[in-house]
Structure 1
Amino acid sequence: MDADFEGLAERHRRELHVHCYRMLGSFEDAEDTVQETFLRAWRRRETFEGRSTFRAWLYRIATNACLDLLATCRPEPATGGEVRWLQPYPDRLLDELPAGGADEPETLAVARETIELAYLVAVQHLAPRPRAVLILRDVLGWPAKDVAELLGDSVNSVNSALQRARAGMREHLPAERQDWTGGEEDAGTRATVRRFTEASVAIDIDGLAALLRDDVRCSMPPTPGLQLGRDAVVADWLADGFTELGRLRSVPTSMNRQPAVAFYLWHKEEGAYLPLTLDVLRVTGGAITEITTFGGDRFPQLGLPERLAADGTE
């Protein structure tokens, strides 16, 4: 690529990646789609007429690239409240987003509620085009006429799709969303996360159960199955042999503007603690209302240590 073009495009890589992540729910698919976006932009660079900003032009290309991928790989949206292709997004990478100003669309896009896992899950239950309309209108703040032009639709059609998308989001988002704790954690949330971590390392099932709200939700993408309620979650832990795991260590972190804990399991033959799971938590009113667990194979990509020494250090 021409160095000037590449430099201009690279300036927007992170925010385009977050946009594609919202559309797709997968960190890896978002990476591939951003690469495809830059390739398409390079091939079509002569068509950029300056009627919009270069940034908006890239967003148009990225949105269409996402729609193309969804049509090919995921013709049907998620169902049943779980998203098997869901992957976490490290806060350390979200911190790379430009701060933006009052006239910057990404000012709205970096808001906590549009990157939390529950929002991502709800979005993935929408059909692709209403999903795109929702993100472009409500997250990026695009005018309806610009969204209509991008999708080759009428303004009335876009407005109708937005109404359907908002109704779908209300159906799948937690009711107590205004009470969530996220990136700006209070002392109560930090205490709950600390107690969860200590009980997990101690393999204290009773202690963990006491931290869960009655209607807690637990999932482990891409493994199918969604556990609903404290009793179901605890029964699943026991069935999976949690009490027989062995020695654990933990590393606190944050994903999707939510508190998270990375757990490591002792491997005698390696003489080290190796990645086990990453738990991303949603805390409401001092109780854990959702746990989304991801496998340890993603630790390097998430910026987490690949192993801990016997004393628990990196």
Structure 2
Amino acid sequence: MDDHAFADLVAPHRRELLLHCYRMLGSRTDAEDALQETLLAAWRGLDGFEGRSSLRTWLYTIATRRCLNARRSAPKAPVPPFEPPAPSRRGEVTWLQPYPDDLLDGVPDAAPGPEARYEMREAISLAFVAGLQRMPPRQAATLILRDVLGYTTDETAELLDVTPTVVKGLLQRARSAKSDAATPVGDDGLTDRFARAFAGRDLPALLALLTDDAWLAMPPAPHEYHGHDAIAGFLTASPTWQYALRLEPARANRQPAFACFLDDAPAGLLVLTPRGDRVAALTRFLYEGVA
């Protein structure tokens, strides 16, 4: 099989495999690297593919194992580009990146079996993906394969090269560890009100749009700010607030977001996690990979 024929063969699966790698790794950059490694391994091993499983499942097997290898080392957190106030706490998942909604177009929103527990909207949210990063790698892989993709226990065992008993144990621990945060849903006017308050640097109006337990994070820095006072302290110290940033509506992880610009220069991405008619979390991505 030549390069073009192989590209045509795997093309229907590229977007869902990239999404799978993103869930496993939490970083779009790392996911793209893992996908390339997966396709290269598949190309090299195609002669040995015996067809005992579908091509899709075989590719998921390769991708999952590449991601498990990649998770053995996590990047170090960088220093923020300004002097922030003391954080409420330091986050563990400093490598988290947003996932543009346009990359989700064309990804099947149907599981291959009845085992799936999550719909696409919930299984791509920032909270869900961050929760996966806090799990041991094989627990995260098991939760994704069983509860997101809908593979059976036996199929998951074959994918991970373990016994069904091991899968059941991993899944039980993963379900116990995962966050039960609700799927982000907001009313249609929430993002408009937020944009007006932010653009006008109206801090009281912005804080009024936040839930009482709202928090702000700024990957890849580990700083997190919990509660109105901490968020207000961060914003007033941050160039994000001091300069007249222009916000343009965007979407990431099936959540409302804003592309930020200083004059015409990209200045990152601000992702909102709504809860009802208010915002429960702000995630400010400042570095490369967020344009």
Q: Which residue of 1 aligns with 2:208?
A: 210
Partners of 2:271 and 2:256 lie apart in 1 by 6
Which residues in structure 2 correspond to 1:288-303 (within 5 Å)?
Answer: 288-295=279-286, 297-300=288-291
1:204 deviates by 1.2
Q: Which residue of 2 aligns with 1:238?
A: 236
Assess if the C-alpha contact under 8 Å between 2:109 and 2:120 holds in 1.
no
1:212 deviates by 1.1
Question: TM-score under structure 2 normalisation?
Answer: 0.88
Unaligned runs of 5+ in 2: 76-88
1:296 deviates by 6.0
Find the partner of 2:140 among 97, 107, 131.
131
Partners of 2:32 and 2:240 lie apart in 1 by 34
Instruction: Tell me the C-alpha RMSD between the 2 structures.
Output: 2.4
Q: Which residue of 2 aligns with 1:274?
A: 265
Which residues in structure 2 correspond to 1:88-127 (within 5 Å)?
Answer: 88-98=98-108, 103=112, 111-127=120-136
Partners of 1:280 and 1:293 lie apart in 2 by 6
* Residues 59-81 of structure 1: CA deviation (Å, up to 9, x unaligned): 0000011011112x239xxx965
Letter of the 1:135 counterpart: I
The change in CA–CA distance for 1:21 and 1:281 in structure 2 (over 3 A counts) is same
Is the aligned partner of 1:260 residue 2:251? no
1:6 deviates by 2.1
1:159 deviates by 0.1
Is the aligned partner of 1:17 residue 2:14? no
Assess if the C-alpha contact under 8 Å between 2:124 and 2:253 holds in 1.
yes
Letter of the 1:93 counterpart: L
Query: Which one has more relative contact order, counting CA pairs under 8 Å at least 6 apart?
Result: 2
Q: Which residue of 2 aligns with 1:197?
A: 195
Count residues in correspondence: 278
Q: Which residue of 2 aligns with 1:307?
A: none
Find the partner of 1:85 among 91, 95, 103.
95
Letter of the 2:64 counterpart: T
Assess if the C-alpha contact under 8 Å between 1:144 and 1:158 holds in 2.
yes
The change in CA–CA distance for 1:293 and 1:242 in structure 2 (over 3 A counts) is closer
Q: What percentage of aligned pairs have identical amino acids?
A: 43
Q: Which residue of 1 aligns with 2:54?
A: 53
The change in CA–CA distance for 1:5 and 1:108 in structure 2 (over 3 A counts) is farther
The change in CA–CA distance for 1:153 and 1:292 in structure 2 (over 3 A counts) is same
Partners of 1:98 and 1:192 lie apart in 2 by 29
Assess if the C-alpha contact under 8 Å between 1:248 and 1:263 holds in 2.
yes
Assess if the C-alpha contact under 8 Å between 1:258 and 1:281 holds in 2.
yes
1:262 deviates by 1.5
1:147 deviates by 1.5
Is the aligned partner of 1:219 residue 2:217? yes
Letter of the 2:271 counterpart: V
Partners of 1:8 and 1:104 lie apart in 2 by 23
1:33 deviates by 0.4
Question: TM-score under structure 1 normalisation?
Answer: 0.82
1:109 deviates by 7.2
Partners of 1:150 and 1:298 lie apart in 2 by 30
Partners of 1:130 and 1:164 lie apart in 2 by 7
Structure 1 segments (4+ residues) deviating >4 Å: 79-82, 102-105, 107-110
Assess if the C-alpha contact under 8 Å between 1:201 and 1:249 holds in 2.
yes
* Residues 266-301 of structure 1: CA deviation (Å, up to 9, x unaligned): 3xxxxxx2222311111112111011111264354x
Q: Judge which range, 277-286 or 131-140, deviates more.
A: 277-286
